[in-house]
Amino acid sequence: MPSFLESLYYGQLNPAEKAVSNDPQYRQVSRQLSESMEVWKKKLSDDDFHELEELLDLYRQVQGLEMAASFTDGFKLGASMIIEVYSEIV
């Protein structure tokens, strides 16, 4: 089994791939979203529905950028805590 650093180097670590919520409401809300999209698909013309999909794609891109920033900030916070703990020991 490769070490953590080797996995990181070879690009085998991708936290975004495992970013599925364990919250019990996740599946319910996801199902509601899918059902709502089907309702809108029936209500709107093909062009209007395509515009809605493009809008939602932009929203997902923003969410992805926010998740990446949050991950980075969280990692830095965790590293700072470890540094502080070790500096107080020495």
Between CA 33 and CA 38 the distance in angstroms is 9
Rounded to two decimals, the pTM is 0.67
Question: Per residue in 29-56, pLDDT tens?
Answer: 999 999 999 999 999 999 999 999 999 9
Residue 52: burial class (beta carbons within 10 Å; 0-12, 13-18, 19+): middle
Q: Are 10 and 16 in contact (CB under 8 A)?
A: no
pLDDT of residue 8: 77
Cα(58)–Cα(51) distance, integer angstroms? 11
What letter represents residue 25's amino acid?
Q
Q: In the chain, how many H helices and how many E strands?
A: 3, 0
